[in-house]
Amino acid sequence: MVTTAVEAVLLVDGFVYGEGPRWHDGRLWFSDGPAGKVYSAGEAGDVVVEAEVPHASGLGWLPDGTLVVSTLFDAKVYHVDEHGNVIATFDLGDVAASTNDLVVAPDGRAYVDLYQAIASEQSGAIGLVDPHGNVRVVATGLALPNGMGFLPDGSTLVLEVDGSFHMEVEHWHDDVKRARRLTNRQRTVVRCTAYELRHEGGEVAHDLIALGVPRVPQSAA
């Protein structure tokens, strides 16, 4: 593997806390939860406020172009039309105290982080929300799930987990390693830290192979 240094160039600034980036229709979309806004930025640095949604976090789109926005510090998912108007609000309070990131599959179903406070710890799960707002929990036993996306073929959901069974940050690394497991024959859950992906890719790959994840031929990589 050849590593090339790339110099970062400032594109846009002036936000409270930008996160949840998605590339859509030739523009970089992202949320600013503390500001309660969803922005898009063009390659020339032009910025547009696309919607105003309280505690905006994850972003995705239905097949008809409707913007889907999840929240942090609240358990809601919003549908927003092309003019920035909220046209539907779905309350997920029955299954979570808060949501966070979100990704929408091509068929319009959304996967969203679910957080529940249990005693002094946070327990996480993943919810599957259909275009009508019906939700069911499809994965549990996660500690603060956050960023998510699909591999190019759309068949695999990739999930980042911020924490683990110990809430002290110095223990997360070891806990996440121990938590890797094959949950059933249809779904493989591989938990790893961002540090491992950057610095211990070989060890993560070894665990993937041990879990039965097929190798990608070099010609297809």
pLDDT at residue 5 tops 90: no
Mean pLDDT of 188-202: 67
Whether residue 115 contacts residue 105, with contact meaning beta carbons closer than 8 Å, is answered with no
- pLDDT value of residue 166: 42
With H, G, I as helix, E, B as strand and everything else as coil, classify residue 23. Answer: strand
The percent helix, strand, coil of the chain (3-state, each to 5) is 15, 45, 45
pLDDT of residue 83: 96
What is 11-147's CATH topology?
A: Neuraminidase (2.120.10)
Nearest-angstrom CA–CA distance, 146 and 188: 17
Task: Say what the pLDDT of residue 190 is.
Answer: 60
Mean residue pLDDT across the chain: 82
Q: Give, in degrees to the nearest 5, the angle at Cα 145 between 171 and 106.
A: 150
Please list, in sequence order, all residues whose beta carbon lies within 8 angstroms of the beta carbon of residue 57, skipping any fewer than 6 positions away: 19, 20, 31, 33, 69, 70, 71, 72, 99, 100, 101, 102
pLDDT band at 17 (very low <50, low <70, confident <90, very high): very high
- Region of poorest pLDDT, from 3-12, 42-51, 120-129, 185-194: 185-194
Quick one: pLDDT at residue 65? 96
- Which residues does residue 30 pair with via DSSP β-bridges, in sequence order? 39
**Can you tell me the mean pLDDT for 95-113?**
94
Percent over 70 (pLDDT), the chain: 75
Write the CA distances from 201 to 101, 193, 206, 207, 208, integer angstroms: 24, 11, 9, 10, 10
Please tell me the pTM assigned to this model.
Answer: 0.73
Give pLDDT, residue 196.
72
pLDDT score for 144: 80
Instruction: Outline which parts of the chain fall under CATH 2.120.10.30.
Output: 11-147
Confidence bin at 124 (pLDDT 50/70/90): confident
**Tokens representing residue 150 in the block:** 């699909």
- Please report, for residues 23, 26, 46, 61, 124, the alpha-carbon distance to residue 164 in angstroms, rounded to integers and kept in the order given: 29, 36, 39, 30, 10
Residue 42: pLDDT above 90? Answer: yes
AA identity, residue 116: Q
pLDDT at site 2: 66
Comparison of pLDDT for 183 and 147, the residue scoring more: 147
**Interval 9-18 mean pLDDT:** 92
- Three-state DSSP state, 71: strand
Is pLDDT above 60 for 221? no
Q: Where are the alpha helices (DSSP H) in 48-185?
A: 169-179
* Measured distance CA(175)–CA(157) in Å, rounded: 21
Going by DSSP bridges, is the β-strand pair 110-118/145-150 parallel, antiparallel, or unpaired?
unpaired
